[in-house]
């Protein structure tokens, strides 16, 4: 994949090489200092694996891991678990692990902040999904887009911005790595309202690039690709193997055949296109149908490139697939597009994650993990070793004031582009223009993200109503009057968690 910036003096590592390096030596270079890493929302399911990745960085000099969570029970459990993990890896002499429910007690001196906060999700996920469903808006995940994603942003962004204000005062040089959804609105708000260096991290680019190599039947390390857009709507605008375009050579033919086979399955009555809740991950449940990932394949055929987000979640970003019988025919159960899938399952997943942590503490579940391809530890390693490394991150399109990274998307929007990491930090690279049809699909979502982020900054109900009027799926189903009524109903249902909106 081409990087559109000056070439670094050393070999640039990226997706293919870091997957291999994770089991071997890591990146070239050495740490010159101990570091301090603060986890906000440390009770998150991300925490054990992300910190395992950091502890497994070859040549790290240790330092301080600070855990912050307002849920004291989960904080105590995570503190014990991370202390155990540090000891298991034989690094207890290098690393000190501290915990506090008050971030201001531990932020000073922090070099890296990982944000994994969840704000009132358990209490509100039912409202986020069930109230819109009354109005005909059928969500599969509903945590980054649509009514569910918007109201999650309204609860979460003010808390995030308050944390960033504390960071500005106590550790202004820290890099903030955001994992919390809704990614685009979180990073947009941070870019507009904070001076902190914030990059949003999602694994959809890594995962989809590997999936495309599998679909094309080529070795991943031999595939040459470029990807840019917005979070969950980034496009693989270049996809080649040894100079041959994989779209025209094989993928378009494969996707057309898959869609034809899916239609045959539907005609034979062996596929689920209903919107019944599925209380299952969607992978282990026996199924009669074979054709999956149909929304992305259909979009690729009609718009010219493959998109990063999985088909079920992607269907919420678009007006085509969740309102008509023809559109729903391309959905499947679970993550493939099942109605209310996230709301049905998320409370149980949270309980299961808590149970797994307790099992890890008791020793009945192993904590022996290889280093993962999540970006956080690789960013830390690349910066501390000054070893150039490529990621895809969510950053402001006008990052650094040097012009737009994607020239035909809004300047003050959050975009997902290739970024170079080195000893000086995170350097987003200029992609240029997306093909017009792809840019305009992104733009249909950016209007909602623009007003959604701004409504959370200004605590404005009116801006929130206008944001939902611009949401592609919501606008495809409801009139403006219905959208306003639904938004006010959501505010009423969640008023205990949105006290400051006027």
Q: Region 14-25: what's the mean pLDDT?
A: 52
Q: How far apart are CA 468 and CA 53, in angstroms?
A: 38
**Exposed / middle / buried, residue 417 (Cβ in 10 Å: 0-12, 13-18, 19+):** buried
3-state secondary structure of 226: strand
Q: Would you kindly state where each structural domain of the chain is located, as residue ranges? A: 31-385+432-502
Residue 380 CA, distance from chain mean position: 18
Query: Tell me, what's the pLDDT at 274?
Result: 46
pLDDT for residue 51 is more than 90: yes
Give the pLDDT confidence of 362-376 residue by residue, as tens digits.
999 999 899 999 999
pLDDT for residue 21 is more than 70: no
pLDDT for residue 41 is more than 80: yes
At the top level of CATH, which class does the domain 31-385+432-502 belong to?
A: alpha beta
Query: Tell me, what's the pLDDT at 122?
Result: 85
Query: Tell me, what's the pLDDT at 24?
Result: 54
Query: Tell me, what's the pLDDT at 10?
Result: 42
Q: How far apart are CA 160 and CA 249, in angstroms?
A: 46
37: left (phi over 0), alpha (psi -120 to 50) or beta: beta
Q: For residue 13, what pLDDT band results from cuts at 50, 70 and 90? A: low
Q: How far apart are CA 452 and CA 82, in angstroms?
A: 36
Q: Among candidates 161, 155, 157, which has minimal Cα distance to 128?
A: 155
Give the pLDDT confidence of 103-113 residue by residue, as tens digits.
999 999 999 99
Give the pLDDT confidence of 291-347 residue by residue, as tens digits.
999 999 999 999 999 999 999 999 999 999 999 999 999 999 888 999 999 999 988
Torsion angle in degrees (nearest 10) through CA of 107, 200, 202, 82: 0
**Which residues on adjacent β-strands are paired with residue 98?**
66
Give the pLDDT confidence of 249-289 residue by residue, as tens digits.
999 999 999 999 999 988 888 765 444 445 554 444 556 68
**Which residues on adjacent β-strands are paired with residue 388?**
none
What's the pTM? 0.94
Q: H-helix or E-strand containing 466?
A: helix 461-470
Give the pLDDT confidence of 205-244 residue by residue, as tens digits.
999 999 999 999 999 999 999 999 999 999 999 999 999 9
pLDDT for residue 4 is more than 50: no
Query: Tell me, what's the pLDDT at 268?
Result: 85
Q: Region 354-360: what's the mean pLDDT?
A: 93
Give the pLDDT confidence of 382-438 residue by residue, as tens digits.
999 999 999 999 999 998 777 899 999 999 999 999 999 999 999 999 999 999 999
Give the pLDDT confidence of 440-470 residue by residue, as tens digits.
999 999 999 999 999 999 999 999 999 999 9
Query: Tell me, what's the pLDDT at 5?
Result: 31
Query: Tell me, what's the pLDDT at 445?
Result: 98
The answer to whether 175 touches 197, Cβ cutoff 8 Å, is yes
Q: Region 467-480: what's the mean pLDDT?
A: 98
Torsion angle in degrees (nearest 10) through CA of 16, 20, 25, 28: -10
Strands (E), 409-485: 414-422, 425-428
């Amino acid at each position: 994949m081409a990087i559109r910036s000056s070439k670094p003096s050393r070999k640039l590592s990226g997706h293919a090489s870091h997957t291999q390096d994770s089991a071997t030596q890591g990146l070239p270079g050495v740490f010159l200092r101990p570091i301090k890493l603060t986890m906000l929302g440390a009770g998150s399911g991300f925490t054990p694996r992300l910190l395992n990745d950091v502890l497994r960085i070859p040549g790290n000099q240790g330092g301080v891991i600070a855990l912050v969570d307002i849920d004291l029970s989960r904080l105590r459990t995570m503190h014990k678990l991370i202390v155990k993990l540090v000891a298991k890896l034989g690094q207890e002499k290098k690393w000190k692990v501290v915990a506090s429910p008050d971030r201001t007690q531990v932020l000073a001196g922090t070099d890296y902040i990982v944000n994994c906060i969840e704000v009132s999700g358990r209490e509100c996920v039912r409202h986020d999904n069930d109230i819109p469903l009354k109005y005909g808006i059928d969500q599969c995940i509903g945590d980054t887009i649509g009514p569910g994603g918007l109201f999650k942003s309204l609860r979460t962004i003010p808390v995030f911005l308050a944390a960033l204000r504390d960071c500005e005062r106590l550790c202004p040089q820290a890099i903030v790595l955001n994992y919390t959804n809704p990614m685009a609105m979180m990073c947009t708000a941070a870019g507009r309202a904070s001076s902190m260096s914030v990059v949003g991290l999602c694994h959809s680019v890594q995962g989809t690039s590997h999936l495309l190599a599998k679909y094309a039947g080529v070795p991943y390390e031999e595939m040459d690709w470029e990807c840019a857009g917005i979070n969950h709507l980034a496009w693989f605008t270049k996809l080649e193997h040894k100079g041959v375009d994989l779209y025209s050579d094989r993928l378009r033919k494969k996707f057309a055949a898959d869609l034809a086979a899916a239609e045959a399955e539907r005609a034979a009555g062996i596929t689920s296109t209903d919107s019944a809740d599925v209380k299952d991950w969607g992978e282990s449940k026996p199924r009669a149908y074979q054709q999956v990932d149909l929304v992305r394949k259909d979009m690729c055929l009609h718009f010219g490139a493959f998109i990063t987000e999985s088909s079920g979640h992607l269907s919420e970003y678009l007006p085509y697939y969740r309102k008509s019988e023809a559109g729903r025919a391309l959905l499947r159960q679970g993550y493939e597009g099942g109605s209310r899938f996230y709301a049905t399952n998320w409370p149980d997943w949270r309980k299961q994650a808590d149970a797994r942590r307790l099992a890890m503490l008791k020793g009945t579940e192993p904590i022996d993990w290889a280093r993962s391809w999540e970006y956080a530890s690789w960013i830390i390693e690349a910066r501390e070793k000054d070893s150039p490394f490529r990621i895809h991150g969510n950053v402001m399109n006008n990052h650094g004031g040097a012009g737009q990274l994607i020239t035909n998307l809004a300047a003050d929007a959050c975009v997902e582009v290739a970024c170079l990491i080195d000893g000086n930090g995170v350097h987003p690279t200029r992609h240029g223009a997306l093909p017009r049809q792809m840019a305009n699909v992104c733009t249909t979502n950016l209007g909602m993200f623009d007003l959604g982020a701004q409504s959370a900054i200004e605590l404005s109900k009116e801006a929130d109503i206008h944001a939902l009027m611009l949401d592609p799926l919501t606008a495809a189903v409801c009139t403006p009057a219905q959208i306003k009524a639904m938004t006010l109903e959501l505010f009423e249902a969640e008023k205990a968690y949105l006290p400051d909106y006027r």
